[in-house]
Amino acid sequence: MGWVDEKEQDSVQDRMYSPKFLALRGSSLFKFTAPPVTTWDWTRAEKSFTVYEIMCKILKDSDLLDKRRHCFSVQTESGEDMFFSVELECELLIWEKAFQMATFLEVERIQCKTYACIMESHLMGLTIDFSMGFVCFDAASKLSRPFTQSCSAKASKHF
């Protein structure tokens, strides 16, 4: 948990950052305008995301959007990119380790996740099983298809 600066979505100028309070709690990342103090506050987050459905990336020098140096991005399941910066490199390393640990623990806990998707105008299911692999199946008949690159490429957004 801690304060970060979030780059405003449509800003080009360096000064278009706003302070946010990020918190990793269990399987979720929460974004607040102020730190949560009570249990009720956790339900009032500006946004929340499930850690295994987002991607955190520490930005290298070539990926930086402006002169801020200690930055990371979070890409959501909908494809939205959020950019954050922290004051110190050690803070960045703490966030990176926290994201990795939260994701690892949640993957270990769930082991298997199924998403609905559309492939060639058919309602399909895509199961990701962390011990057995991937299975793509027809939602109506439950018949599985061999998982191929074409199945993953044609599977559109999950619901």
Name the residue with higher pLDDT: 138 or 86.
86
**Residues 44-75 pLDDT 10s:** 999 999 998 999 999 998 888 888 899 999 99
In this structure, which topology does domain 2-110 adopt according to CATH?
PH-domain like (2.30.29)
Report d(CA 96, CA 83) in Å as an integer.
14
Q: What is the pTM of this model?
A: 0.75
Q: Which of 113, 134, 129 is nearest to 51 (CA)?
A: 113
Q: Which of 73, 98, 135 is nearest to 2 (CA)?
A: 98
| Cβ proximity of 45 and 33 under 8 Å | no
| Cβ proximity of 46 and 55 under 8 Å | no
36's tokens: 């949560």
Span 75-85, mean pLDDT? 91
Domain positions in the chain: 2-110, 112-154
**Residues 92-115 pLDDT 10s:** 999 999 999 999 999 889 888 888
Model confidence at 11: pLDDT above 90: no
57's tokens: 């990336």
pLDDT at residue 122, as a whole number? 84
Q: Which of 148, 124, 120, 149 is nearest to 137 (CA)?
A: 124
pLDDT at residue 61, as a whole number? 85
